[in-house]
Amino acid sequence: MSIDNVFLAELLDRAEQNDAEAQYELGEAYYKGEGVEKDWVEAVRWYKLSAEQGYAPAQHRLGYCYNLGEGIEQSYEESVRYYRLSAEQGYAPAQNGLGYCYGFGLGVEKDYQKAFELYSLAAEQGFDKALHNLGYFYSNGLYVEQDLAMAARYYALSAEKGHPPAQCNLGNCYYYGRGVEQNFTEAARWYTLSEWRGSITG
């Protein structure tokens, strides 16, 4: 839903008064192009102002922008730094993002144990992407012993929250009978629910 002009004006006023939450929300508006023309550079500017005040969602989003090089020069090291600041406040998306960096060695030395621990912290809060990532770790035996039943369980928890990659991977589990009893009907149901058609087969 687009942000209307009145709300945007009020948001800008609050942001200019150094309201960290408003600065973050204004950054989101620019990032997504809601009520304003999409502008990642401007989004990052507001995220930074908010992050400097210790606002966890802004720190996470800034880490995300650094990770992908959106609105700012890509830097995995800076991505890790901001993810960590946010994760230390218990913010689940940042815990997952930092776990992803450890899992792939982006800005830090690859460490599957740390990745698993961070995914677990985020998953305990019900974060869909972290639940999916735990499923991937169990499916592939990364840090933990391979356990296809546990993989299917975590994929299902994530899929039920509407995460498309998890829905696709759960469909794979049912199609190939990996960790669950083979069931083509269930496979088709999850494939249909998922709009994601990537190559991860987890």
pLDDT of residue 4: 65
Q: What is the mean pLDDT of residues 22-48?
A: 96
Number of folded domains in the chain?
2
Distance separating alpha carbons of residues 187 and 2, to the nearest angstrom: 36
CATH number (domain holding residue 189): 1.25.40.10
**Residue 32: which of 6, 56, 7, 65 has the closest Cα?**
65
pLDDT of residue 51: 98
Distance separating alpha carbons of residues 128 and 125, to the nearest angstrom: 9
Distance separating alpha carbons of residues 141 and 137, to the nearest angstrom: 6
The answer on 99 and 2 residing in a single domain is yes
Instruction: Give 37: exposed, middle or buried? Use CB within 10 Å, 0-12, 13-18, 19+.
Output: exposed
The answer on 130 and 99 residing in a single domain is no
The answer on 145 and 99 residing in a single domain is no
Q: What is the mean pLDDT of the chain?
A: 94
Q: What is the mean pLDDT of residues 110-136?
A: 98
Q: Examine residue 110 and state whether it is found in any structural domain, yes or no.
A: no
Q: Examine residue 141 and state whether it is found in any structural domain, yes or no.
A: yes
Q: Examine residue 42 and state whether it is found in any structural domain, yes or no.
A: yes
Residue 153's domain spans which residues?
A: 126-202
The answer on 96 and 44 residing in a single domain is yes
Last residue in a domain, options 72, 104, 136: 104
Instruction: Evaluate if residue 200 carries a pLDDT over 50.
Output: no
- pLDDT interval class at 5 (50, 70, 90): confident
Q: How does pLDDT run across 53-77, given as a tens digit for each residue?
A: 999 999 999 999 999 999 999 999 9
Q: What percent of the chain has pLDDT over 90?
A: 91
Contact 116, 100 (CB under 8 A): no
The answer on 99 and 137 residing in a single domain is no
Q: What is the mean pLDDT of residues 37-51?
A: 97
The CA-based angle 69-116-143, given to 5 degrees, is 115
Q: Examine residue 111 and state whether it is found in any structural domain, yes or no.
A: no
Q: Examine residue 180 and state whether it is found in any structural domain, yes or no.
A: yes
Q: Examine residue 112 and state whether it is found in any structural domain, yes or no.
A: no
Instruction: Evaluate if residue 21 carries a pLDDT over 80.
Output: yes
